[in-house]
Each structure stands twice: as C-alpha cells, then as structure tokens.
C-alpha cells in the first residue's frame, strides 16, 4: 500500500507564481510506514509530514481492501483478520479509559496478552458483556476455519470468498461501533479515538484518512457506513 502525496510547499509556490485558482499536480507515491507517519523531503528540499490519520484497525482494513483490488486475496484475508484483532485492542483500551484506568496501567496489562490472540478475544468478550450487557458478535466456526485455512494452511481463496470474509469482519466492527455510539455517544468515542492517531512532527503536516473505515467522519450522527457503500470506494473503473 502506498501513500500518494504532493509537496504542499511546491503547490503553494505554483499557485503564487501563476496566480491561478486551480492547477493539476502529479502525485508522488510513498510506501506506507507502520507508524503511519511519513517524513518527506521533496526534490526541492522542502520537508513535511504525510500522516495517515487512522487507527491501526482502519489502516489494516484498508490494506486488505487494496490487496483485494490488486488481486491478492490471501493477503487481503490476512489483513482483514488482523484488522479485527486490532479493533479488539481498540475496544479494550477504550473501556479501560472508561474505567479510569491510567494508560500506563492499561499498557502494562496489554503486554501480558499482546502476543496471544485468544486472550485478547477473551478480554474483549468479557469487557463487552460487562459494559454493554450482552455477548458481542463473534466469528462463526465456519469463518474462523476459513481464516485459519488461509493464514495457517496457505489456502488461496477466490475473490468472492475473500470479499465474504471481509464483509463479515467489517460488519462485526461496525456493529460494535454502533453499540458504542448508542451507549456512550459519538463524542466520547472520538475523544479516545483521537488519542490513538499518529502525529507528524514537521512544521507542515498533510493528513490522510483511511478509505474503508473512518471514525472521524460522521453522517447523520454516526460513523457507521454500510459495507456495500464502503466497497464502492475501492471499485476501479
């Protein structure tokens, strides 16, 4: 996955020198960093940051959708599965904040389960039950079997199976976000979400958002978007 960008200083110079209101610029690709922060130095020596301002689960889901668009179905399933696990982490840490647990203590506790997916799922399940009063949505045994077959046995799924798994993961995440919005309100979720976003250090920062999921974007008071609507954002003509 690549971040496409244009030097903001060069853009400003072009507008100032031509006096025009609209100009076309060639986008420059840059490979995605795990941190989400990309320190750039353009050929003219201008320095700026391009920040993928998104939670890790959002970035991973974007990676899955881009892999799917490029025909890499196995890689897309792996990214979707990782996205769901990182959403569990997001939920757990959000609930820790609601319980007035300091971020330092929360991070220490997370280290004890950070390498064990089953423990993370267990923590998510019980925190969901205690905070929302019902069991959370979970992958069916069929979906778990499919995920394991792809990730651990090297199965290369056809496009429809990869899309199907992506839809299951997407709808799981959206369902939980919808429940959180109902109980806590969008503003409280966003306040926590904003603390999870990467920050650039340059004097000029260009912020980009994830295309699949974006908790910072709302419509009619919710950040939840239908899967088919999201899917259209990645359709190539």
Q: Are 38 and 3 in contact (CB under 8 A)?
A: yes
- Terminal CA-to-CA distance of the chain, rounded, Å? 19
pLDDT at 104 over 80: yes
**DSSP states of 182-212:** HHH-HHHHHHHHHHTS----SSSEEEE--SS
What average pLDDT score do residues 190-213 get? 84
Element (DSSP H or E) covering residue 30: strand 28-31
Q: Output 103 or 87, whichever has higher pLDDT.
A: 87
Q: Residue 111 contacts by C-beta under 8 Å, 6 or more apart in sequence?
A: none
Which pLDDT belongs to residue 222? 92
Which pLDDT belongs to residue 236? 56
pLDDT at 223 over 60: yes
Which pLDDT belongs to residue 6? 82
| Mean pLDDT of all residues belonging to the chain | 90
| pLDDT tens per residue, range 172-183 | 999 999 999 999
Q: Which two tokens stand for residue 82?
A: 């990782």
pLDDT at 73 over 90: yes
Q: Angle 204-208-212 (CA atoms, 0-180°, nearest 5)?
A: 170
Which pLDDT belongs to residue 178? 96
pLDDT at 33 over 90: no
- Which of these ranges, 36-45, 87-96, 113-122, has the smallest mean pLDDT? 36-45
% the chain with pLDDT above 90: 66
pLDDT at 237 over 50: no
Task: Please tell me what DSSP assigns to residue 34.
Answer: T
Query: Could you tell me which of 84, 77, 8, 76 has the C-alpha nearest to residue 40?
Result: 8
Where helices occur in the chain by DSSP H, the ranges are: 8-18, 56-69, 73-98, 103-111, 117-132, 141-153, 159-184, 186-195, 227-232
Q: Are 160 and 124 in contact (CB under 8 A)?
A: no
- Band of residue 1 on the pLDDT scale cut at 50, 70, 90: low
* Cα of 233 vs its chain's centroid, Å: 15
Element (DSSP H or E) covering residue 170: helix 159-184
Which pLDDT belongs to residue 32? 77
């Amino acid at each position: 996955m690549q971040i496409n960008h244009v030097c903001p200083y060069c853009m400003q110079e072009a507008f100032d020198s031509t006096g025009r209101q609209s100009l076309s610029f060639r986008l420059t690709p840059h490979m995605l960093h795990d941190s989400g922060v990309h320190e750039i130095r353009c050929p003219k020596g201008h320095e700026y940051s391009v920040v993928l301002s998104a939670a890790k689960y959002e970035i991973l889901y974007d990676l899955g959708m881009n892999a799917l668009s490029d025909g890499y179905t196995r890689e897309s399933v792996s990214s979707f599965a990782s996205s769901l696990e990182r959403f569990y982490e997001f939920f757990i840490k959000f609930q820790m904040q609601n319980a007035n647990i300091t971020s330092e203590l929360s991070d220490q506790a997370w280290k004890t389960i950070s390498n064990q997916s089953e423990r993370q799922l267990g923590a998510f399940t019980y925190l969901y039950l205690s905070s929302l009063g019902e069991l959370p949505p979970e992958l069916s045994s069929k979906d778990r079997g499919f995920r394991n077959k792809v990730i651990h046995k090297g199965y290369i799924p056809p496009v429809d199976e990869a899309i199907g798994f992506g839809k299951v993961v997407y709808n799981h995440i959206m369902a939980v976000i919808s429940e959180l919005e109902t109980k806590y309100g969008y503003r409280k979720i966003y306040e926590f979400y904003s603390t999870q976003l990467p920050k650039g250090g340059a004097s000029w920062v260009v912020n980009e958002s994830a295309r699949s999921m974006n908790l910072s974007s709302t419509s009619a008071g919710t950040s939840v978007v239908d899967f088919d609507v999201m899917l259209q954002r990645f359709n190539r003509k």
